Structure 1
Amino acid sequence: MGVLLSLPMQAQVTVDASIDSLELLIGEQTDIHLEVSLDAKQRIQLPVLKDTIIKGIEIIDIAKPDTQMLNEGKRMLIKQKYTITSFDSALYYLPPFEVKVNDRSYASKPLALKVYSIPVDTLRPDQFFGPKDIHSVSITWNDIRWIIWFALMILVLLTAGYYLFKRYRDNKPIIRRIHVEPKLSPHEQALKDIEEIKADRSLLQNDSKVYYTKLTEVLRNYMKERFGFNAMEMTSSEIISYLMEIKEQNALSDLKSLFETADLVKFAKLDPLMNENDKNLVNAVAFINETKIEPDPNAKPEPTEITVVEKRSPKGRMILLGCLIIIAIAIVVLIYLIINNIIDVWF
């Protein structure tokens, strides 16, 4: 418990000093509190102390002065704290703290401090113990848990970064857009494709080779799905020969003419007239309608077709690159944290 010593110098100025503890063990610390009360208009100069108060009493810290206004601002109370210690056992006399107010000196009463060491029993030296051996401390979960968590986070980020890098390298979006469409029957799909060819009038007028190539591909796909033979790998004559085995020759005359014209356009650079091209397209539609099989309304519906669309805009590419940069920075930070934790645990 601290002892408060005060010495009123005159009515306007008082200087008080107190110490938190009168006794200390060597190396312990205590605080000295200096309080000065004066008129608000007076000038004050506190004691200028550096490292020591007296020999043997060291100053550890000097706190910033705290000023309080009293009596509606007419008076001031200034408080100053000094943290001290000592490493020599003795009874110390602390001289008064001197304060100057309006160039006039005022002082507190002196203080006393006893510093003592730990008593040693010299009569029983066997109670003294030498330095202990170094013991290894077992590593616990709390010591390595952050290392493991950070390593798992790096593994997750590396997986995500690899996926995003592949999408960036292959110029694909982060997320695939999937369209689910009903599966059409062979003749419905063929008629749909022919309508697309028919709608492209520029193709019909300017490039007969591409026109007949697309038209015969539609028919070949239809035959493959409808009759079950690989028409895509067969020549025109082979297709007609195969169909003649399952259909009357007269019914295939128009289809035969269509394939013959297509071969002449592809290999002999024939340029058919416009009405002949229209006639061949009509013949293709007629063949499909004559050979189509209407689906059974009571049959189980065919599974839907899933179309994966992978397109990415320039904005999406920039977002993808930004994500890769953020992941790289996060991995570097986590590696730094892991190294710091390893040093703390093992070194």
Structure 2
Amino acid sequence: MNRILRFFSVIALSLACVSGVSAKVSVSARLDSVSVLMGKLTTLNLEVVQDKGKPGGFPLFRNADINKGYVGICGDSIELRTSYKADTIDLGSNRIQINYKVPLQAFDSGSYRLPEFVYVSESDSARSNALTLNVVPVNVTADDPIAGFAQVAEPEGKSVLDALPDWMVDYWWIIIAILLAIVAFLWGMRRYKKEGTVLKKKPEPTPYETAIKDLRELKAKNLWEQGMEKEYFTRLTDILRIYLARRFGINAMEMTSREIMDHLYSSDVKDKRDYVRQILSVADFVKFAKVRPLPADNIAAYDNAVRFVEETKPVPVVAADAEEGDGQNPEIKKTETKKGGES
């Protein structure tokens, strides 16, 4: 019999402990009105029962942005003001009841199911019951009087962007892209009228660079070594004639060998005529008399072409006037580049 009594005593004590733990914190929620006009205020009442001396609160409000002054729920369609009131009632037996009165406002019409509000007190927490709120739209006409609503207020943190239309603020990047495209178009048109092109022209190679490049390519083909002396000298004289035309302005492509020599005699490079004479002479024999030159003549013609181009290219000329003074260094004047008749 004693064992049976002890068994039921242990069970009763265990149930009392469990019920005591589950009753530590409880939360209930209700609305002053379950139907509210859009834009109007109503009150959300949250009643919390807990032990005395234990701090607690709703994380929803604790984590809110103080500067905003409200917490958005239901997709931000409903706002709960953070400036709520809280009154405490002593229930005795080391228990208290805290009544939270939270202003609630909605700006979108419809039916909303409010979430369960979580209250946390130290290691204990509890959830409130869920609520349903109906937000009634405001149906007005142009003739209806406006009453019961606050006046239009200036927005906080007003800036010059508030005067712009919403589409300009939303699509500012498209506007900037269009403006940049217009600026680029105007710049391109101006450059085209001034220089005849939009993109910067790549500098053309000098007559010297072109001639040396062509001579190297001709040598790499090994034409005369393959018995193609006529093709070899035709290309060699073309390179030389183009160089004379670009470097000295001589229309060598339309001249005979004799006319080219006469023009060189009256030019500043008449002392270099022997190079050209050897090339043209051998070339005329090969092209017109069908003479096969010796390998030495082929090599000499190529070497003379290279020498003529190298020795007649424009070279920088340094003009310096040394003025001697008492303890002073000579002054070096600026360097000028001799054009040399380049066209």
Same fold (TM over 0.5): no
Q: Structure 1 length as normaliser, TM-score?
A: 0.38
TM-score by length of 2: 0.39
